[in-house]
Amino acid sequence: MTDRLRVAMIGHGFMGAAHSQAWRVAPRFFDLPRRPEMTLLVGRNAAPAQAAADTWGWSESSDDWRAAIARDDIDVVDIVTPGDTHGEIALAALEAGKHVICEKPLANSVADAERMTAAAEAASARGARSMVGFTYRRVPAATFARDLVASGRLGTIRQVRAEYLQDWLTDPEAPLTWRLQKERAGSGSLGDIGAHAIDMVEFVTGSRLASVSGILETLVPERPLMGEGIGLSGTASSERGPVTVDDVALFHGRFDNGALGSFEATRFRTGRKNAFRFEISGSDGAVSFDMERMNEIELYDATAEPDELGFRRILVTEHGHPYAGAWWPTGHMLGYEHAFSHQVVDFVRAIADGTPPSPSFADGLHVQRVLDAIERSSAAGSAWTRTA
């Protein structure tokens, strides 16, 4: 076995930049048992793919993902394409014996996620590892919150609140990107950012949503079509097309341990750029996190003396905190991109150790079932709906 892990990334754009940064930086700050090499970037069109490869440091580029997967000198396939292509690419890569990391949500439907999970389990028996990219788990403060809950610091978990708030769609003249088309994205705010909220609170609490009641709403039903070559913030055409996904998702949930949760995912919360927040409340305390203050948590100790009660701020930059010891001196902040490096670290170590990475495709399938249950609940007038 070579000590190298030769990576092909399928797709580029926003997530391609984040993943490229991670593959490049992780082996330079962490002591990894295998050495990732940025071998090949694949895009739909040759010229943009080559430009992205040159910018981000990939050795080669291609416009043929099938040929990339067939290559003997590729060990890992990193999928950062829109959701409608995840299944086909992942199935082919797993069948070819490649390790696979796939961006979230795992698929656009439960059926596709089930096929991907079955293929991942079969490939695992042959030594191929797979993981779904719920990257926010690896923000040090979020991982530390999970550790606090697991240690029993909060006692019995009773209530959860999570919200993911963005405002990039508040302009009704913003163009109709692929994220607003159900056939490509699967869903809107629900799957794009609500999936993060679902996975995060389940990761932190160690419990799973068993039933949900939700409402989905499309606030702007049609938008200008994208002009050729126009990006997210570019100029749209004069023609308009229908928005076929939700703009806002509001839902409640009951966890398998009896705790209750309330959730909001929206791309219409004016003034909020990337406000991903959660608060976990237990019998002995509570913990709160806000992505816009991503290097800290607030911890409440309900067992303290009455005159000492109150949330206290913890700066999660000590070398004993998750992942932090590989980076800077205490108090020197980490950013959005560092979580992607931590994802690479954990994935590479799992490959080298021969252990199942987390979150697995099975975890991604569970989130897909929760998303599906919320959609069915909304269609049925917010009826309580089982997630399995």
Domains and CATH numbers, the chain: 4-136 (3.40.50.720), 137-357+367-379 (3.30.360.10)
What is the rounded CA–CA span in Å between residue 162 and residue 250? Answer: 10
In the numeric block, the tokens 């205490």 are attached to: 330
* Nearest CA-CA partner of 243 in 267, 270, 224, 227: 224
Q: Would you state the structure tokens that stand for residue 317, as one six-digit string?
A: 């930059």
* Nearest CA-CA partner of 254 in 204, 214, 300: 214
What is the rounded CA–CA span in Å between residue 109 and residue 73? Answer: 32
- Other residues' Cβ atoms within 10 Å of the Cβ of residue 310: 9
Report the C-alpha dihedral over residues 234, 237, 242, 248, rounded to 10 degrees.
20
Q: Would you state the structure tokens that stand for residue 38, as one six-digit string?
A: 């940025």
Q: What is the pLDDT along the chain (388 residues), one digit of tens a residue?
A: 459 999 999 999 999 999 999 999 999 999 999 999 999 999 999 999 999 999 999 999 999 999 999 999 999 999 999 999 999 999 999 999 999 999 999 999 999 999 999 999 999 999 999 999 999 999 999 999 999 999 999 999 999 999 999 999 999 999 999 999 999 999 999 999 999 999 999 999 999 999 999 999 999 999 999 865 434 445 556 799 999 999 999 999 999 999 999 999 999 999 999 999 999 999 999 999 999 999 999 999 999 999 999 999 999 999 999 999 999 999 999 999 999 999 999 999 999 999 999 999 999 999 999 999 999 999 999 999 999 9
For residue 97, what are the CA distances in angstroms to 128, 133, 227?
6, 19, 39
